[in-house]
């Protein structure tokens, strides 16, 4: 007994093995994605193409590689942020899309394009500012709504704030120059990675990588922050300060991603749940799990988006389609972990 | 430790929730003995929970001082406080399905730096706490799947993982059935025998009588009586506190509190 008393329970060992498998799957998916595309032929780019066809070489290096990397980063960020929002707000039904963060970011990005000239850092800064504003507005409204429990109130407030932002984005769309600005804005509302180049990627990596690293390092604290304030306090946690750091990382990385990739829905809501189901709810393993599952999911969806048809399918439409499907299956199988 | 054997000294403490609000506690001055089970007893709204939150440091007194283990409470950092005081809140609502062991490991937070994860030694202590609480067999279950009594014991184990000298419990038995309430109380009794100081709030005089050896009787924010259980739980005191006629019998060598029967 005493020899085993400090050993982890078997579930923890399985979860570690599954995490290792997930890492392997992401690497494998990444490698395979390099050989998927519409050029030279549809679907598969053979190693022979890469050896002989210089256009194919340039395409893979300059377009496909940054796009694949971006897909993984987008998925990791959205899913990690979703986990943070769910745990910090003690609410398994929220993600950036349900808290006014994504809508705020796309409104801010549109505003920057139409009114402020559209330089990259202005777009990102504007997206981050309005994303944070959206989160704050949803939270404060959620506290003041006069019916329903906390889970429902926060979701309702987030829906209202998102709708306000969407109508604002609609006005901007109406005002926008149909030739110069409108295509850019329409793109945000659909969400996709087709324009991503190395410079685009290099603009978001300096923001998203530090945020992901901070979230990863602080992941065990998320468990403490998912307790009530009274409990967190009694465990010596400076809950206000730690929540602020985690939320800032989640919002800033999300808005950076949204400013480049547009609205990619449901990833932040569903992927954390899948990760918890496979790895347990302890954020020590569930958070890295959510990052990996999210990265893999967006990577695969983007592969489909860019190869299935000769025209591009907007990525946001695909993730919403699959995400909503998974959501319905989970709800109908009564696996949804909302308890009263 | 202070010379007079008090774990907690409350000296002239008054508290109100806002400048325009009425006083919730008015010049409370009592000592809580070390190594004893003290019950803060009183009707709903008498200020017991507020007093508990003041002891925890979640609220700060408007007037007066609280001394913990002989030192002014304000001299402790929050982290130091969390190594001295463990809290079992009234209704711990856990949203995510942590396993019982993962849940109890949260009690190690006072000893872990910001970037640290629980280590083997923490797991060992968490398992010892589970054994003390009598639920070692449940460590792999999900906290959300436990019954009310089991969850309460898991929360006691989490507080014990903090290795506190003082354990605070807010209404620990108020929504438990007889058997589960007895289970909690027997765990508290054995913790007392190991030298822990235990403070619990309750509105039920019989819960206080069955486990506490020291009772502080609160009414409308003031201490009506304080001292050994048998001297405090008298029909005069309880009638004054609760505003109904109360009779105190002695059964099995301890007080049993009854209200007068309703007329037929």
What is the per-residue DSSP string for B123-189? HHHHHHHHHHTT-GGGTTSBGGGS-HHHHHHHHHHHHHTT--SEEEEESTTTTS-HHHHHHHHHHHH
Span A126-148, mean pLDDT? Answer: 90
Span B16-43, mean pLDDT? Answer: 93
Q: Of all helices (H) and strands (E), which one includes residue B251? A: strand B246-251
Report the alpha-carbon angle B101-B102-B104, nearest 5: 65
Q: What is the pLDDT of residue A77?
A: 97
Domain interval for residue A143: 73-332
Alpha carbons A326 and A277: distance in angstroms, whole number: 13
Question: Is the separation of the CB atoms in B230 and B214 below 8 Å?
Answer: no
Span A61-75, mean pLDDT? Answer: 94
Q: In this complex, do A236 and B96 lie within 8 Å of one another by their Cβ atoms?
A: no
Smallest Cβ–Cβ distance between B95 and the set A11, A90, A221 belongs to: A90
In chain A, which residues touch B (CB < 8 A)? 5-9, 11, 87, 90-92, 217-218, 220-221, 223-224, 226-228, 230-231, 233-238, 276, 280-282, 284, 337, 339
Span B20-31, mean pLDDT? Answer: 93
Q: Which residues of B touch A337 (CB under 8 A)?
A: 96-97, 144
Alpha carbons A272 and B147: distance in angstroms, whole number: 27
Smallest Cβ–Cβ distance between B121 and the set A6, A227, A228 belongs to: A6
Percent of chain A with pLDDT over 90: 53
Residue A337 has pLDDT above 80, yes or no: no
Span A172-201, mean pLDDT? Answer: 83
Q: Which of A67, A314, A37 is nearest to A183 (CA)?
A: A314
Alpha carbons B42 and B54: distance in angstroms, whole number: 17
Instruction: Kindly report the backbone phi and psi dihedral angles of residue B63, in degrees, each rounded to the nearest multiple of 5, phi listed first.
Output: -135, 155
Question: Is the separation of the CB atoms in A168 and A105 below 8 Å?
Answer: no
Cβ count within 10 A of residue A55 = 10
Pick the range with the lowest mean pLDDT from A117-131, A230-244, A287-301: A117-131
Q: What is the pTM of this model?
A: 0.91
Scanning every residue of chain B, which has its alpha carbon at the shortest distance from the alpha carbon of A220? Answer: B117
Q: Which residues of A touch B58 (CB under 8 A)?
A: 230, 233-234
| Domain presence at residue A15 | no
| Number of folded domains that form chain A | 1
- pLDDT band for B3, please (50, 70, 90 cuts): very low
Span A267-274, mean pLDDT? Answer: 94
Smallest Cβ–Cβ distance between B124 and the set A5, A236, A337 belongs to: A5
B134: left (phi over 0), alpha (psi -120 to 50) or beta: left
Please give the radius of gyration of chain A, using alpha carbons only, rounded to the nearest integer: 21
Task: Let me know if B22 is exposed, middle or buried by CB neighbors in 10 A (0-12, 13-18, 19+).
Answer: exposed
Contacts A–B by Cβ distance under 8 A: 103
Residue A339 has pLDDT above 60, yes or no: no
Contacts of B233 (CB under 8 A, 6+ apart): B205, B208, B209, B215, B248, B255, B257
Which tens digits make up the pLDDT trace of B193-250? 999 999 999 999 999 998 999 999 999 999 999 999 999 999 999 999 998 888 899 8
- Residue B261 DSSP one-character state: P
Residue A53 has pLDDT above 90, yes or no: no
DSSP per position, B58-98: SS--SEEEEEETTEEGGGS-HHHHHHHEEEE-SS----S--
| Domain presence at residue A234 | yes
**Three-state secondary structure call for residue B106:** helix
Q: Which residues of A touch B159 (CB under 8 A)?
A: 234
Q: Is this complex scored with an ipTM above 0.90?
A: yes
Alpha carbons A162 and A158: distance in angstroms, whole number: 6
Residue A1 has pLDDT above 70, yes or no: no
Which tens digits make up the pLDDT trace of B251-261? 888 888 888 88
Alpha carbons A124 and B174: distance in angstroms, whole number: 53
| Domain presence at residue A92 | yes
Residue B2 has pLDDT above 60, yes or no: no
Beta partners for residue B33, in sequence order: B6
Which tens digits make up the pLDDT trace of A85-99? 999 998 888 888 889
Q: What is the pLDDT of residue A327?
A: 87
Q: In this complex, do A237 and B109 lie within 8 Å of one another by their Cβ atoms?
A: yes
Alpha carbons A248 and A144: distance in angstroms, whole number: 23
Report the alpha-carbon angle A51-A55-A60, nearest 5: 75
DSSP per position, A167-198: HHHHHHHHHS-TTTTHHHHHHHHH---TT--H
Q: Which residues of A touch B89 (CB under 8 A)?
A: 228, 230-231, 234
Alpha carbons B211 and B183: distance in angstroms, whole number: 11
Ranges A8-12, A117-121, A130-134, most confident: A130-134
CA pseudo-torsion sign A95, A98, A100, A104? positive
Q: Which residues of B touch A231 (CB under 8 A)?
A: 87, 89, 92
**Three-state secondary structure call for residue A340:** coil
**Three-state secondary structure call for residue B46:** coil
Distances (CA, A) of A295 to A29, A39, A72, A214: 10, 24, 4, 17
Q: What CATH code is carried by the domain that includes residue A281?
A: 1.10.3470.10
Q: What is the pLDDT of residue A335?
A: 59
Q: Which of B237, B239, B219 is nearest to B228 (CA)?
A: B237
- Higher per-residue confidence, B109 vs B18: B109
Q: Of all helices (H) and strands (E), which one includes residue B226? A: strand B222-228
Alpha carbons B56 and A72: distance in angstroms, whole number: 45
CATH match for B1-69+166-180+197-264 among 3.40.50.300, 2.140.10.10, 3.30.70.890, 1.10.3720.10? 3.40.50.300
Which tens digits make up the pLDDT trace of A313-325? 889 999 999 999 9
């Amino acid at each position: 007994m005493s020899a085993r008393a400090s050993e982890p329970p078997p579930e923890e060992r399985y979860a570690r093995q599954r995490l290792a498998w997930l890492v392997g799957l992401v690497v494998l998916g990444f490698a395979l994605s390099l050989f998927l595309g519409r050029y030279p032929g549809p679907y598969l780019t053979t190693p022979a193409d890469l050896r002989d066809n210089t256009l194919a070489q340039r395409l893979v290096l300059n377009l496909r590689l940054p796009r694949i990397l971006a897909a993984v980063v987008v998925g990791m960020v959205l899913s990690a942020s979703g986990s943070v929002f769910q745990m910090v707000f003690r609410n398994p039904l929220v993600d950036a899309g349900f808290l006014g963060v994504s809508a705020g970011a796309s409104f801010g990005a549109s505003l920057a394009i139409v009114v402020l000239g559209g330089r990259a850092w202005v777009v990102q800064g504007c997206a981050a500012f309005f994303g944070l504003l959206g989160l704050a507005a949803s939270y404060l409204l959620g506290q003041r709504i006069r019916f329903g429990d906390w889970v429902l109130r926060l979701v309702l407030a987030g829906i209202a704030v998102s709708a306000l932002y969407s109508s604002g984005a609609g006005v901007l769309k109406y005002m926008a120059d149909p030739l110069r600005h409108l295509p850019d804005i329409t793109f945000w509302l659909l969400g996709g990675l087709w324009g991503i180049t190395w410079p685009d990627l290099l603009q978001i990596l300096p923001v998203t990588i530090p945020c992901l690293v901070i979230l990863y390092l602080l992941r065990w604290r998320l468990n403490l922050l998912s307790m009530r304030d009274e409990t967190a306090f009694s465990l010596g946690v400076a809950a206000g300060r730690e929540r602020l750091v985690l939320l800032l990382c989640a919002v800033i990385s999300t808005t950076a991603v949204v400013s480049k990739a547009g609205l990619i829905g449901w990833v932040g809501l569903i992927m954390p749940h899948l990760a918890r189901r496979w790895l347990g709810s302890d954020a020590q393993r569930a958070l890295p799990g959510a990052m990996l599952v999210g990265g893999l999911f967006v990577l695969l969806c983007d592969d489909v988006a860019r190869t299935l048809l000769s025209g591009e399918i907007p990525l946001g439409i695909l993730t919403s389609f699959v995400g909503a499907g998974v959501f319905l299956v989970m709800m109908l199988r009564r696996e949804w972990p909302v308890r009263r | 430790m202070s010379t007079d054997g008090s774990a907690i000294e409350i000296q002239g403490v008054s508290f109100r929730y806002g400048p325009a609000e009425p006083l919730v506690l008015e010049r409370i001055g009592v000592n809580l003995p070390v190594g004893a089970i003290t019950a803060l007893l009183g009707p709903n709204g008498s200020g017991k929970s507020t007093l508990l939150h003041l002891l925890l440091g979640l609220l700060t007194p408007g007037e007066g001082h609280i001394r913990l283990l002989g030192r002014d409470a304000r001299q402790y950092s929050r982290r130091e406080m969390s190594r001295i005081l463990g809290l079992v809140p009234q209704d711990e609502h856990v949203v995510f399905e942590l396993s019982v062991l993962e849940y109890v490991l949260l009690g190690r937070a006072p000893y872990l730096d910001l970037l640290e994860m629980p280590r083997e030694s923490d797991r060992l202590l968490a398992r010892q706490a589970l054994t003390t609480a009598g639920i070692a067999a449940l460590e792999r279950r999900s906290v959300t799947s436990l019954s009310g009594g089991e969850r309460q014991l898991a929360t006691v184990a989490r507080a014990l993982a903090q290795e506190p000298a003082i354990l605070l419990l807010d209404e620990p038995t108020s929504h438990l059935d007889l058997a589960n309430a007895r289970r909690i109380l027997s765990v508290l009794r054995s913790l007392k025998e190991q030298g822990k100081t235990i403070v619990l709030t309750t509105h039920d005089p019989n819960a206080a009588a069955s486990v506490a050896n020291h009772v502080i009787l609160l009414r409308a924010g003031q201490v009506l009586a304080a001292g050994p259980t048998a001297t405090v739980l008298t029909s005069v005191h309880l009638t004054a506190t609760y505003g109904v006629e109360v009779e105190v019998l002695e059964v099995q060598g301890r007080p049993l509190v009854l209200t007068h029967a309703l007329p037929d």
